Structure 1
C-alpha cells in the first residue's frame, strides 16, 4: 500500500520515528509563513523537525469566527462556509508552495466541513473542488456507518482521504473514546474498515493513549496515523494547532499547550506572524523532544490492558473470523 504523501515507513525494527512527524492545523497564509519559519529555525538548531502535513481545519468557525461548534444548521450556511473553506484551502496551498522548500513541502489536507459530504455525490462534487484549488487530500469525519461508503466513493474517483476517528466535532459527541475493551475493539475495527475502503491515513482525536499507541505500531497492514489530544505514541504523527499555541481555552484544560497564555479577547492584536513563529517554534520543539502532549488519564480496567496490548489492531481477531 502506497503512502507517498506521508514520510511514513512501517518498519517493525524501529523503536520510534527518527524524525517526529508533525501535522499542523492552520487556516491562513501568514500562519503558514510562521510555521515554515519556526520549522527552519528548529532545523538550524539541530532539531529533527519535519512538518509533514498542513490542514485547513473547519475549526476556523470556532477560532477566527467565534462560533461554539463546527456543525451548521442550514444548507445555506453549509454552502456559504464551504466556499469560505475552499478559499482558505487555496490560500494555504499557495502559501505552502511559497514558504516551504520544494524538497520538504508538507502535503495540504482540506478538512471537509459539515454538510459538504452528506452523500457520496455531494462528497465527490465538493472534494474535487478542494483538489482543484490545491489540496493534496481531504479529511472526512467518521461518525456513522454510511461515512465509510463515502470514503470508498471518494477513493474510487482518485481523491485521497484521511479518515477522522474518535471524537468527531461535527457529531457533537464531545468525550474521550477507547476507555473500555469493547470501545477499543470498535476503534480497531473502524480503523481496519477505513483502510479497506481506501483511506490513506487516520486522524485520532480524544482516543485512549494505549489504543492510540496500538494503532500507531508499525505493521505492514497499517496506515499512517496522526493523533490529537490522545497522548503520546511512538511511530505516530502528532497534530498541533496554531491557534492553540497562543490562546488558552475558555474552560479548564489540562492537555492544551503550555505556550497558550493569551485570552481570546486579545485576538487579533496578539495574533501576528511574529508571535505565531515564536509560539509554534516552542510547541513544535516540545513535541519533538517528547514534552508535549500530556498523557490523558486512562479508564481502562486492568484486566483489559493486556488484551489490548497483545492485540494486533490491523488484523481481525481469530474469534471474529470464526464467527463470520
Structure 2
C-alpha cells in the first residue's frame, strides 16, 4: 500500500513517542473529516460538538446516540486517520456501563479508540475496557465534563496536591492499559514531567509544547468560532470572515440574477 494512503494504526501512534510530534484535530462529520484526513494523525470526535456546534456552554448534554451518529459520519469521511470517539458524560459511570457503551462504538462504527475523562477512581474501568480489547485514551487535567462540579474550566497543576494527583493518575492509566494520555489545561512543566515519565504518548491542549502531540477544536483553529479565543488556540485562518464574504457574494448574485448563468442552467 502507498504510504500516503496507509491507515494509521494504534501502533503507529505509539511509535511516534519521542520521535515525531502527533497531529490531532476534532471533526464531527464526514465532510470535514475528509478534508482533514491525511493531513494529521488523529481525528477526535469530541463531545465538544455540544459547544462548538450545539450552542451550549458545556459538553454535558452529549448523548450516546449523538456521539455514535457523529462518529459513524467521521469514519465514513476519513480512511487514513486514527479515529477516537469521546465517551459522553454519564456513559461510563460503572465498569458494566462503560463496557456496554464502549462496545457500541466498536460494533456500530469503525472508531479505532475511545476517550474517557478520568481520575484515579476510573483506573479499574480503563483496565476493564482494555482487557476486552478496546483501545482507551485517558483524558486528565481540565476535564470539561466536570465543569459544573468544579465551578468552571480550571487549569490544573498549580498546587502540589494537584501535581501529585496528575502524575499518579497518568501512571495509573498507563498501568491500566491506556495507549495514550490527553493532557488538557495542565501547567506546561507538569505536562512535560508526565510526558517524560510515561512510555505512552501524550497529546496536549493548553498543556505546552513538550507533549508528544497537540490537538485543537477545528472551529477554533480555523476561526469559525469567535465568541472568545482561549489562550491556547492559534488561529490559522479567519474562516468565519471568508464564509461570510462568500455567502454575501452568493446572495448578491441571486438577487441581481447573475446566478445561474446560461452555462449553469439546463
TM-score range, shorter chain: 0.7 to 0.9
Measured in 2, the distance between the counterparts of 1:169 and 1:108 equals 20
Q: Which position in structure 1 is the counterpart of 2:256?
A: none
Q: How far did 1:188 drift?
A: 0.8
Matched, 1:196 2:175: yes
Distance in 1 between the 2:164 and 2:52 partners?
Answer: 33
Q: Which residue of 1 aligns with 2:87?
A: 112
RMSD: 2.7
Counterpart position of 2:21? 20
The partner residue of 1:206 within 145, 167, 185 is 185
Task: Name structure 2 gaps, 5 residues minimum.
Answer: 1-8, 248-266
Shift of 1:185: 2.1
Who wins on radius of gyration, i.e. which is larger? 2
Kindly indicate whether structure 1 or structure 2 has the higher relative contact order, using CA contacts under 8 Å at least 6 residues apart: 1
TM-score for both structures, normalised by structure 2? 0.79
Which residue of the other structure, out of 34, 57, 69, is the alignment partner of 2:58? 69
Is the CA contact (8 Å cut-off) linking 2:138 and 2:173 kept in structure 1?
Answer: yes
Say if 2:64 is the partner of 1:82: yes
1:136 corresponds to which of 112, 136, 157:
112
Aligned match of 1:159? 134
The gaps in structure 1 that reach 5 residues or longer are: 12-16, 40-50, 73-77, 98-104, 273-324
2:233 paired with 1:256: yes
**So what's the TM-score if we normalise by structure 1?**
0.65
- CA change 1:57–1:240 in 2 (3 A) is same
CA contact (8 A) 2:44 2:84 kept: yes
Please give the secondary structure, in 2, of the residue aligned with 1:162.
strand
1:229 Cα offset (Å):
1.0
Deviation at 1:199, TM superposition (A): 0.9
Q: State the Cα distance separating 1:85 from its structure 2 match.
A: 1.0
Distance of aligned partners of 1:140 and 1:32 in 2 relative to their CA distance in 1, 3 Å threshold: same
Aligned positions of 1:6-17 closer than 5 A: 6-10=13-17, 17=19
Structure 2 residue matching 1:62: 3-state secondary structure: helix
Q: For 1:182 and 1:141, how far apart are their aligned partners in 2?
A: 19
Aligned length: 233
201, 204, 218: which one pairs with 1:224?
201
Alpha carbons 1:248, 1:260 under 8 Å: kept: no
